[in-house]
Structure 1
Amino acid sequence: MYVQRFGEQLIRGAATERPRGPEYVSRFERWDDLASVRRRPRRRFAAGEPDLYFPPELYPVALHPLVAARGSAAVKGLLLQRLYDYLEFTTELESLAVIPVATKISRGRSGLDLPGRMRSDAYKIVTDEAWHAQFSHEFAGEIEAETRVPWLRARDRTPPAFLSRLDEVRGRLPHRMRGVEGLLFAIVSETLISGMLSQIPRDGRLPQSVRNVIRDHAEDEGRHHVYFRSVLGHLWPALTRAERQAVGPLVPAVVYAFLEPDYAQTARHLGELGLTGEQIDQVVTESWPAHQVRGDVAAAASQLTRYLTEADALADARTLAAFEEAGLLGPGHQERGGAAKEFAG
């Protein structure tokens, strides 16, 4: 089993037989001076800070009348649970999705013929992401100790929604291509998360320590964004036409796996507030109407969709149709090079 794992690749086949991507320009020359693991102190949760722990606008269930009717303490408690969820999501995302892929890249097991500097930089990403997972986990524990509001322990938690969603994508891939969904998800999450993190550090209503933790994360992810955009530029040209046709229509599902809300986890929190099953369904449905979720996902993914277009990932008709069906192509989207396009989500 261990010998098998040593040789496993994200994309099967001889990497050197695949076309090589464009020239790689590293953003990690000053990593020792800039990476939060090298220059930032571990942030500590401080007592006496504001008790609004997460922007309610980014968690609309907290603004629903049925939740507001429970009182301000219940709303603030729900937002604290959302912060716990965010910190735990960060730990799980880095540990289960990004670090394994970056490790494969660093060890030459991506299945792509990547420049040596690109592999070396992947080691730095592994270090960054392990630090993000660690400080998120430890920070959540400090909040729990200070606030005395319980944080669900590992034995009580359900897997984050992105895992089951990725399993579904993997099940739809030809057997010989299973593994590429992990590489795609790393590209999606690492190019989108920096935008998601940009708002919270500027929100003066939140505790300064919370803002600092998320700012440290965001600064590192800016470099990771550029790196994984480069990975996409190497990935798509390296795929055969048949591989592109198999993978392309599933990219939108990978985008939604990352961006769509975790409804089950939210339902659990609402149940802990005392809402009935019918009320929970109402709050979730009215807080995240389907058309709003589609619009939010499309807006959040617009830059990634542009990257995919530039990589000619939308040149296949079935892929283009999948992007359109998922609502990921805005009205101003135009075809490049006279070819049809494909979407991701």
Structure 2
Amino acid sequence: MHVRAFQEQLLRGLAPARFHSGDYISHFERWDALASVRRKPRREFEVEGLGLYFPPELYPVVLHPIVADKGEAVVRGLLLQRLYDYLDFTTELENLAVIPVATKISRGRSGLILPERMRADAYKIVTDEAWHAQFSYDFAHQIATTTGCSRLDADASHGPAFLSRLDELRERLPHELRGVESLLFAIVSETLISGILSDIPRDGRLPQAVREVVRDHAEDEGRHHVYFRSVLRHLWPALTPAERRAVGPLLPDAILAFLEPDYARAACHLRWIGLTREEIDQVIAESWPVHKVRQGISGAASQLMRYFTEAGALDDARTLASWEEAGLLSRPQDSETTAYVPSEVTT
């Protein structure tokens, strides 16, 4: 088992036989001076009056009249649970989705021929992401101790929604291509999350420590964004035409796996405050209308779509059609990304 794990590649086949480019510009030259794991302190959580734990605009169920009528204390409690979910999502995303991929790249097991500097920088990303997981875990425990209110355990064993969505995506790939979905999801999550993280550090309604934790994460993710854009530039030309035709139509699903709200977790929160099944269904449907969710995701993913277009992914007619069918080609000015970015990562 361990020898197989050592040998296994994310993209199967003979890497030297694939197209490869030596082009790579590192953005990690000053990593020792800039990385949060090197220079940022442990953030200490303190309750600050009656401020909010999480921006309500980014968790729209709390703005619904059925929920708002429950009172300010209920809304604050839900926003605290939403903060717990964000921290848990960060921990699981790093541990289960990004670190394994970055580790494979660092060990030369991506299935691609990458410049040596890319492998060296992948080690730094592993270190960054382990720190993000650690400080998110630690911060959640600080919050529980300080507030006396722990994270809800219901459905927690299933993990964030992206895990089951990623499993479903893997099942739709030809057997010989299974593993590439991990590489694609790392590209999607690492290029999208830096933009999603940008606003919370400036939200003065939130506790200072919350804003600092998110800012620490965001500064590192800016470098990761550039890195994984480079990974995409190496990956897509390396795929055979048949592999591109198989993988391309699934790209929107990888984006949706990351950005679509975690409806099951929201339902758990709403049950906690005493809503009936009918009320829960109504609040979720009216807080996240399908067309608005897709418009928001389209806007959030517009830059990533440009990266895939530049790589040549949308040259295939079936791939382009899949983006249209998923509603991800709507005009950016029509989107409402503020309210409908992912339930897990509205950060």
| Cα separation, 1, equivalents of 2:331 and 2:75 | 37
- Unpaired runs of 5+ residues, structure 2, are 333-347
TM-score (structure 2 length as normaliser): 0.94
Alignment check: 8 A CA contact 1:21 1:238 kept: no
Determine what percentage of the aligned residue pairs are the same residue: 71
Per mean C-alpha deviation after superposition, the further-off stretch among 127-136 and 155-164 is 155-164
Alignment check: 8 A CA contact 1:50 1:207 kept: no
Give CA deviations for 1:196-219 in whole Å, capped at 9, x if unaligned: 100100000000000000000000
Question: Which residue type is aligned with residue 188 of structure 1?
Answer: V
| Cα separation, 1, equivalents of 2:315 and 2:329 | 13
| Cα separation, 2, equivalents of 1:246 and 1:156 | 33
| Cα separation, 1, equivalents of 2:154 and 2:218 | 25
Compute the displacement of 1:233 (Å). Answer: 0.3
| Cα separation, 2, equivalents of 1:17 and 1:294 | 39
* Structure 2 residue 72 is the aligned partner of structure 1 residue 72: yes
| Cα separation, 2, equivalents of 1:137 and 1:31 | 23
Q: 1:324 to 1:13 in 2, by over 3 A?
A: same
Question: Which residue type is aligned with residue 248 of structure 1?
Answer: G
Compute the displacement of 1:47 (Å). Answer: 3.4
Q: 1:214 to 1:276 in 2, by over 3 A?
A: same
Alignment check: 8 A CA contact 1:21 1:237 kept: no
Q: 1:287 to 1:331 in 2, by over 3 A?
A: closer
| Cα separation, 2, equivalents of 1:261 and 1:91 | 17
Compute the displacement of 1:159 (Å). Answer: 1.6
Q: 1:248 to 1:22 in 2, by over 3 A?
A: farther
| Cα separation, 2, equivalents of 1:327 and 1:194 | 22
Give CA deviations for 1:267-309 in whole Å, capped at 9, x if unaligned: 0000000000000000000000000000011000000000000
| Cα separation, 2, equivalents of 1:91 and 1:83 | 13
Task: Indicate the residue corresponding to 1:234 in structure 2.
Answer: 234
Task: Indicate the residue corresponding to 1:261 in structure 2.
Answer: 261
Task: Indicate the residue corresponding to 1:179 in structure 2.
Answer: 179
- Write the mapping of 1:205-244 to structure 2, written as runs, cut at 5 A: 205-244=205-244
| Cα separation, 1, equivalents of 2:281 and 2:221 | 35
SS at match of 1:282: helix
- Two-structure CA RMSD over aligned residues (Å): 1.3
Higher RCO, Cα 8 Å, sep 6+: 2
Task: Indicate the residue corresponding to 2:127 in structure 1.
Answer: 127
| Cα separation, 2, equivalents of 1:309 and 1:49 | 48
| Cα separation, 2, equivalents of 1:325 and 1:84 | 33
Task: Indicate the residue corresponding to 2:191 in structure 1.
Answer: 191
| Cα separation, 2, equivalents of 1:285 and 1:36 | 39
SS at match of 2:315: coil
Question: Which residue type is aligned with residue 185 of structure 1?
Answer: F
Task: Indicate the residue corresponding to 1:30 in structure 2.
Answer: 30
- Write the mapping of 1:158-177 to structure 2, written as runs, cut at 5 A: 158-177=158-177
Alignment check: 8 A CA contact 1:22 1:233 kept: no
Task: Indicate the residue corresponding to 2:336 in structure 1.
Answer: none
SS at match of 1:314: helix
Task: Indicate the residue corresponding to 2:335 in structure 1.
Answer: none
Alignment check: 8 A CA contact 2:201 2:212 kept: yes
Task: Indicate the residue corresponding to 1:246 in structure 2.
Answer: 246
| Cα separation, 2, equivalents of 1:157 and 1:183 | 25
| Cα separation, 1, equivalents of 2:139 and 2:292 | 32
| Cα separation, 1, equivalents of 2:107 and 2:243 | 23
SS at match of 1:121: helix
Q: 1:105 to 1:206 in 2, by over 3 A?
A: same
Alignment check: 8 A CA contact 1:50 1:206 kept: no
Task: Indicate the residue corresponding to 1:20 in structure 2.
Answer: 20
| Cα separation, 1, equivalents of 2:189 and 2:49 | 31
Question: Which residue type is aligned with residue 88 of structure 1?
Answer: D
Question: Which residue type is aligned with residue 309 of structure 1?
Answer: T
Compute the displacement of 1:153 (Å). Answer: 5.4
| Cα separation, 2, equivalents of 1:99 and 1:284 | 32
Q: 1:111 to 1:49 in 2, by over 3 A?
A: farther
Q: Which runs of 4+ in 1 moved over 6 A?
A: none
